[in-house]
Amino acid sequence: MEWIEMQKQFVIQNLLGLHVRPAKAVVASASQFNCTIQIEKEGVQFNAKSLVGVLSAGIKFGDTVTLIAEGEGEAEAMKTIGDLLASPIEENPAKKVQP
């Protein structure tokens, strides 16, 4: 069976960007799928199944990235990972420590 590559753009909503914890969530989700999954930023593609790859992209709050998936399960992968990319994922950087 021949697969057609799927692509969709997302704006990063996590105030701290894709630092280690949200990047790990993206990689864990991507690793569940058999298809090839890439995150493209400014014309450069990064392997979404590699923590080093995702972190190397330097994705910050407000950045627009393109999620690219091709192969078995690509539609589900696009939805699952796209939901992570477009959500705040976690954290409030303004947490206050109580004395």
Give the residue numbers annotated as catalytic, written as ranges: 19
Supply the DSSP string of the chain, one letter for each residue.
Answer: -----EEEEEE---TT-S-HHHHHHHHHHHTT-SSEEEEEETTEEEETT-HHHHHHT---TT-EEEEEEESTTHHHHHHHHHHHHTS--S--TT-----
